[in-house]
Amino acid sequence: MLTLFNIASLEGWPDVMLIALDAVGVDKGPEMEASVINGFFFIVFILIGSFFLMNFFIGVLFMKYTQAAKNETKGYTEENLVWIDIQKMIIEQRCEFDLMNKPDHLKHPKRFKYWRIVTSKPFDFFIMGMIVLNIVQMGINFENASHLYVQLLDISDYFFTVIFIVEAYLKVRAYAWRYFETLSNKFDAFIVISSVADIIMSFTMKDMSDSFSLGP
């Protein structure tokens, strides 16, 4: 039964099938493809056991879920259900972070200027373009590259790091400490701090390797 369950889960079933193809009989050593007909059992079992029965099981669960949902709304009219859906939409609705944290241009004119910059479409397109270029830059690195090529990649990495530091700085000036309220901003801050730490570590390790170098 454990073997059949393993085959039905589609995990490692080709290895089991290859062993079955070499099976000869009880107390007999295996021979290569001695029982090719055993392969049809695996094909039929996977088609019926994995696909048909699994889809049948999912269909039963979906049907029971539909029945349970109908029982929850039993006794409600169509107008009641529409009203409940509208109330759920109102409760779940959230104001956008940018609009929620818009500074007052009279009390905080500088923060408002920074807010206009970080919420502008050109700024978003520029940062998105830098992210795409940074991904390309990380993907074009390869083994046994020339020293000049590696230096160009390092310089471009410093350039992108500076861009993202400026982005984080502008957003912190615009939103103050509310900048860290969203997960996306926390992730951006983590990436910036990690990039700076990586650059510092690379320079530190380079200086250590140069100081311990035995060459001329």
pLDDT of 213: 45
Output 170 or 95, whichever has higher pLDDT: 170
pLDDT per residue over 25-50, tens digit each? 777 777 787 777 877 888 887 777 77
Residue 35: name the closest of 17, 46, 20 by CA: 20
pLDDT tens readout for residues 179-199: 888 888 999 999 999 999 988
CB-based contacts of 158-166 (< 8 A; 24+ apart in sequence):
158/199, 160/130, 160/133, 160/134, 161/192, 161/195, 161/196, 161/199, 163/127, 163/130, 164/130, 164/188, 164/191, 164/192, 164/195, 165/192, 165/196
What is the pLDDT, as a whole number, of residue 214? Answer: 43
Which of 27, 9, 29 has the alpha carbon at shortest distance from 19?
29
Mean residue pLDDT of the chain comes to 82
Concatenating the DSSP letter of every residue in 146-181 gives -HHHHHHHHHHHHHHHHHHHHHHHHHHHHHGGGGGG
Q: Nearest CA to 182 among 125, 100, 113, 115?
A: 100
- Give the model's confidence band at 207: pLDDT under 50 very low, under 70 low, under 90 confident, else very high: low
The pTM of the full predicted model, rounded to 2 decimals, is 0.57
CB 10 within 8 A of CB 50: yes
